């Protein structure tokens, strides 16, 4: 298994996506259900998938109705997807695409003479000139941190050298206040044990490192808007950097781990997400994850890509997801020309930002130079974070408008990027200080991309009704006929009614409320995922495809309805519908947890 994954990673690092016959992880799919998580038919689907189809549930993202599965051993992704798309519960199924960092690797040959000159001057001095160009020095002195609630920038990348003196001396690394280091317990109940300084999704561990250097370089650029990272002593940082490693030492990762990292960032307080990576494959699931960050009020900064091409005609994701909080960033030279390697797009790329010969932190207390839109994006993310320092309640959507509206107009960028401008950190931060904070942001309706490529297309299966409906080239909505939708709405109601009859009413002392939340279930040494569909002060209904023993003791980490917090509570199974649904009565619930549940249920509908 390991050997196979390694070979794919190396191939992906060496070849452009178009040259890869198979640019997705073998044996894995991501599935979106039509029904909400926590409904009878969603758990029935998961139960059937894991029993009948021998699929293994690797992860679920309840708020998005998304599930990540390993398919039956020996089955191809193409055939699994073709079968899933015939399932009336499935909105879509797609491969787990491989994605990679957007760095300068392989692009030196198309550098302009000017860029080669700049690359030769790779020094602190050239970095300071770049910083001066976008007005960073005035930001260093003008921002003041009055709040203990320092804005968190999630760096979704190759990791971070958390021992680099620039980050340790400035105290810039995010610390989870609710997690006790190294005690082997998920103290804050967010599903991750000992996640004190972010999370490593490659190893599934809290151990953070950067075996590539890309994430450390990006993080230094973000911090360079906060303060001069080349002088001593370093200042106390006004922002926090949350390293979320999902790219391996070759700078390669998977869509599923990107979604996990984005979901983690959005649910654990990040207000700015830096994404210096991408791929050419459209993923509806990744699109949903980006849209989820919008509902959380965060800003999603994305590198435009380094192919020197027009993203309006050849899309790059996540930069091209047209969610209102996504800001896509092109790279400019010190002379405000678009860098030769930089992607652009008057519709899809929003602004330029320095990205040539950028000097920043590298692992082992070093510094080094790198070029790419990967370097341009973090200047924007760092500036957005300083706007948050001054205006903690400003939403990412509004910050994007300010960054676009208050930048430096540059002739060379007109017709290349939407705003026709290059980042001006000083102007954007100054303007934001007096801008009224918008209380709300517009609603966003996610529309899946029409010409998305699925594995069944790759396999030439064609003719699959769901693919065509999702494809929408004939203008059909993705849901198919109205009759099908009606059938799907009513079928689960019948099952729920049956469930209620089975639930012994006399056992309940507390009012039950409908809820739709993720839950992690610890049973002995096992960690399981599921959802909670009803909750009371006395217990919950847990839906999971796993088998729990009647009378058995479990520990539950239950997400709040908005996903913002979790409670951890112990209980035992009092009734069961094997592999589907379980009633769990709480044991010795602390008053603090009961208070949280009482608060949550204030906004919830009563259950029958
Ligand atoms: Ca935790």
Q: At what angle do helices 284-295 and 396-405 cross, to 10 degrees?
A: 90
Residue 182 · residue 125 · CB < 8 Å: no
> What CA–CA distance (Å, rounded) separates 312 from 286?
19
Same CATH topology for 107-434 and 513-601: the answer is no
Which top CATH class is 107-434?
A: alpha beta
Cα(591) to ligand 1 centroid in Å equals 21
**Residue 349 neighbours by CB under 8 Å, 6+ apart:** 304, 311, 319, 328, 329, 330, 343, 416, 417, 418
Cα(527) to ligand 1 centroid in Å equals 13
Among 197, 214, 350, 406, the one annotated catalytic = 214
Q: ∠ at Cα 364 (5, 222), nearest 5°?
A: 85
Cα(267) to ligand 1 centroid in Å equals 12
Residue 355 · residue 375 · CB < 8 Å: yes
Cα(175) to ligand 1 centroid in Å equals 11
Cα(231) to ligand 1 centroid in Å equals 35
pLDDT at 570: 83
Active site residue 117: no
> What are the residue ranges in the chain where pLDDT is below 50?
1-21, 104-111, 453-508
Active site residue 214: yes
Cα(161) to ligand 1 centroid in Å equals 21
Look up tokens 């040494």; give the residue.
Answer: 525
Cα(459) to ligand 1 centroid in Å equals 41
> What CA–CA distance (Å, rounded) separates 429 from 238?
14
Cα(306) to ligand 1 centroid in Å equals 36
Bridge-partner residues for 378, per DSSP?
none
Cα(178) to ligand 1 centroid in Å equals 8
Q: What is the dihedral of CA 17, 301, 25, 23, to 10 degrees?
A: -10
Taking CA atoms, 505 is separated from 96, 519, 607, in Å, by: 43, 24, 12
Question: DSSP string covering 267-318, please?
Answer: HTTEEEEEE-EEBSS--HHHHHHHHHHHHTT-EEEEE--SSSSBTTTS--BT
Among 41, 157, 210, 516, the one annotated catalytic = 157
Q: Where exactly are the structural domains of the chain?
A: 1-20+476-503, 107-434, 513-601
Cα(33) to ligand 1 centroid in Å equals 27
Cα(599) to ligand 1 centroid in Å equals 22
Cα(154) to ligand 1 centroid in Å equals 16
pLDDT at 117: 52
Cα(567) to ligand 1 centroid in Å equals 11
Q: Taking the model in full, what pTM does it have? A: 0.73
Q: ∠ at Cα 22 (19, 26), nearest 5°?
A: 160
538 φ, ψ (degrees, to nearest 5): -100, -20
Cα(181) to ligand 1 centroid in Å equals 10
Active site residue 60: no
**Residue 154 neighbours by CB under 8 Å, 6+ apart:** 198, 242, 244, 261, 264, 265, 270, 272, 273, 274
CATH of domain 513-601: 2.40.10.220
| Structure letter (DSSP) for residue 423 | -
Among 224, 271, 357, 374, the one annotated catalytic = 374
> What CA–CA distance (Å, rounded) separates 241 from 439?
26
Burial class (CB in 10 A: 0-12, 13-18, 19+), 594: middle
């Amino acid at each position: 298994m390991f050997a196979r994954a390694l070979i794919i990673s190396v191939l992906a690092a060496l070849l452009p996506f178009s040259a890869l016959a198979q640019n997705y992880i073998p044996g894995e799919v991501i599935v979106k259900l039509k029904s909400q998580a926590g409904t009878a038919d969603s758990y029935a689907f998961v139960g059937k998938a894991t029993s009948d189809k021998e699929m293994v549930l690797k992860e679920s993202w309840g708020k998005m109705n998304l599930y990540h599965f390993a398919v039956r051993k020996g089955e191809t992704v193409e055939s699994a997807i073709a079968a899933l798309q015939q399932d009336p519960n499935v909105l879509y199924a797609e491969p787990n695409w491989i994605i990679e960092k957007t760095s300068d690797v392989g692009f030196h040959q198309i550098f302009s003479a000017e860029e080669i000159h700049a690359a030769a001057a790779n020094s602190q001095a050239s970095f300071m000139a770049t910083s001066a160009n976008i007005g960073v020095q005035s930001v260093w002195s003008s921002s003041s941190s009055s709040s203990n609630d320092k804005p968190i920038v999630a760096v979704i990348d190759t990791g971070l050298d958390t021992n680099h003196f620039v980050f340790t001396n400035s105290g810039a690394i995010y610390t989870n206040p609710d997690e006790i280091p190294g005690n082997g317990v998920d103290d804050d109940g967010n599903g991750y044990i000992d996640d004190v300084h972010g999370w490593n999704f490659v190893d599934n561990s809290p151990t953070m490192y950067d075996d590539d250097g890309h994430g450390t370089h990006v993080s230094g650029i973000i911090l360079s808007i906060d303060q001069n990272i080349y002088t001593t002593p370093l200042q106390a940082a006004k922002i926090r950097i949350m390293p979320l490693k999902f790219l391996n030492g070759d700078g390669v990762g998977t869509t599923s781990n990107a979604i996990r990292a984005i979901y983690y960032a959005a649910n654990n307080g990040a207000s700015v997400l830096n994404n210096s990576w991408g791929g050419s494959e459209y993923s509806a699931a990744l699109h949903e994850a980006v849209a989820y960050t919008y509902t959380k009020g965060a800003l999603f900064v994305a590198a435009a890509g380094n192919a020197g091409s027009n993203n309006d005609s050849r899309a790059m994701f996540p930069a091209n997801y047209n969610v209102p909080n996504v800001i896509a960033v092109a790279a400019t030279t010190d002379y405000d020309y678009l860098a030769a390697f930089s992607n652009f797009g008057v519709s899809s790329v929003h602004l330029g930002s320095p990205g040539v010969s950028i000097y920043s932190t590298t692992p082992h207390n070093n510094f080094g130079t790198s070029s790419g839109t990967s370097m341009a994006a973090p200047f924007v993310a760092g500036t957005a974070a300083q706007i948050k320092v001054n205006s903690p309640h400003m939403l990412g959507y509004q910050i994007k408008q300010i960054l676009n509206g208050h930048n430096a107009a540059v002739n060379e960028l007109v017709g290349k990027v939407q705003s026709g401008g290059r980042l001006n950190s000083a102007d954007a931060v100054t303007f934001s200080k007096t801008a009224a904070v918008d209380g709300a942001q517009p609603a966003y309706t996610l529309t899946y991309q029409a010409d998305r490529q699925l594995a069944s297309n790759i396999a030439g299966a064609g003719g699959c009704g769901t693919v065509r409906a999702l494809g929408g080239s004939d203008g059909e909505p993705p849901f198919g006929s109205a009759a099908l939708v009606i059938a799907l709405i009513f079928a689960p109601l019948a099952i729920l009614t049956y469930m209620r009859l089975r639930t012994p009413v006399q056992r309940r002392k507390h009012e039950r409320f409908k809820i739709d939340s993720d839950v992690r279930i610890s049973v002995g040494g096992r960690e399981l995922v599921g959802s909670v569909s009803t909750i009371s002060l006395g217990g919950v209904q847990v839906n999971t495809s796993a088998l729990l023993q009647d009378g058995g003791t479990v520990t539950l980490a239950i997400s709040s309805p908005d996903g913002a917090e979790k409670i951890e509570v112990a209980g035992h199974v009092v009734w069961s519908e094997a592999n589907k649904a379980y009633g769990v009565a709480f044991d010795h619930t602390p008053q603090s947890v009961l208070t949280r549940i009482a608060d949550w249920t204030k906004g919830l509908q009563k259950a029958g």
